[in-house]
């Protein structure tokens, strides 16, 4: 039996993924500080989240790992599956069930299997395949396009949804070093993975007027991904999802 699948974007790269009766939160971010602004509304605060069965955290950057705010979530025993740089911050925030996954390692949460896949970013990162109930979702955090990601469907079968970063973030002060996929690269990965639905994330983020001018450079228009996807692989649907908007994936 194929379970229902609903993806609700909270903001940035923070999503609720609901497969049947189980819910996974990705890369929690609920607040802002200097040089870190979502650039869009935050649909839910931690205290208003539904019951979570798991949380996946790709890396330790504040906009993907906001434990100062997420510590307000009342269930400190929620399983947190994460990169190996995250546990210290999770423990400090009071969470008690922390499971480190190295690339290609898996863990079970209820009827779900959560597998870490490789990633490449400015710091150590893993990405995740979340599967169960006849469903499978790839959450790409804010990785670059690397060869290992092209093997995901060979390893884990067809994907229902691919959640992909698209802003091509570069660091001006590091010689314009690119640290995140851009729209064209994300569309290229989607053309290989062939999900039933490809959703962009990681595009509204801003470092503020000073940060964007002096530190960061990025593409904040997700329509560039939509255009690239339509050109490279027109049979893979996509849409730009507003914070709080649930997207139900039909069988």
Provide the pLDDT for residue 145.
98
Average pLDDT over residues 9-21: 98
Three-class SS of residue 67?
A: helix
Average pLDDT over residues 117-133: 98
CA gap 145, 189 in Å, rounded = 7
CA gap 98, 88 in Å, rounded = 10
Q: Please, which residues have CB within 8 angstroms of residue 167's CB and are 6 or more apart in sequence?
A: 180, 182, 183, 202, 203, 205, 218, 219, 220
CATH classification number, 5-238, choose in 3.60.15.10, 1.20.810.10, 2.60.40.10, 3.10.20.600: 3.60.15.10
- Domain limits, the chain: 5-238
Q: How confident is the model at residue 1 (pLDDT cuts 50, 70, 90)?
A: confident
Q: ∠ CA 55-77-161 to the nearest 5 degrees?
A: 15
Beta bridge partners of residue 107, listed in sequence order: 114
> Which tens digit of pLDDT belongs to each residue from 73-104?
999 999 999 999 999 999 999 999 999 999 99
Length of the chain: 251
Beta bridge partners of residue 23, listed in sequence order: 18
User: In what helix (H) or strand (E) does residue 232 lie, and over which residues does it extend?
Assistant: helix 223-232
The token pair that represents 230 in the structure block? 């339509």
Measuring CA to CA, how many Å separate 152 from each of 59, 146, 157, 190?
A: 20, 11, 7, 11
| C-beta neighbour count of 2 within 10 angstroms | 12
Average pLDDT over residues 110-132: 98
- For residues 105 and 127, is the Cβ–Cβ distance under 8 A? no
The token pair that represents 63 in the structure block? 């906009």
CA gap 85, 73 in Å, rounded = 21
């Amino acid at each position: 039996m194929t379970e229902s699948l609903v993806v609700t974007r909270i903001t940035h790269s923070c999503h609720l993924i609901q497969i049947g009766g189980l819910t996974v939160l990705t890369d929690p971010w609920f607040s802002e500080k200097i040089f870190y602004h979502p650039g869009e509304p935050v649909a839910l605060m931690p205290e208003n989240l539904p019951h979570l069965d798991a949380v996946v955290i790709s890396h330790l950057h504040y906009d993907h790992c906001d434990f100062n705010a997420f510590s307000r979530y009342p269930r400190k025993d929620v399983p947190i599956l994460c990169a190996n740089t995250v546990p210290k911050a999770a423990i400090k925030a009071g969470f008690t069930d922390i499971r480190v996954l190295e690339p290609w390692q898996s863990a079970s949460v209820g009827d779900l299997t959560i597998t870490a896949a490789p990633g490449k970013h400015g710091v150590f990162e893993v990405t995740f395949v979340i599967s169960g109930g006849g469903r499978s979702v790839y959450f790409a955090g804010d990785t670059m396009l690397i060869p290992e990601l092209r093997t995901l469907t060979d390893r884990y079968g067809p994907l229902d949804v691919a959640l992909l970063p698209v802003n091509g973030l570069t660091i001006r002060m590091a010689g314009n070093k690119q640290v995140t996929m851009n729209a064209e690269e994300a569309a290229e990965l989607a053309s290989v993975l062939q999900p039933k639905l490809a959703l962009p994330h990681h595009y509204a983020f801003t470092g503020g007027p000073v940060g964007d001018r002096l530190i960061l450079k990025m593409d904040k228009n997700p329509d560039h991904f939509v255009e690239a996807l339509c050109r490279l692989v027109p049979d893979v649907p996509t849409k730009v999802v507003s914070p709080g908007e649930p997207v139900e994936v039909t069988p």
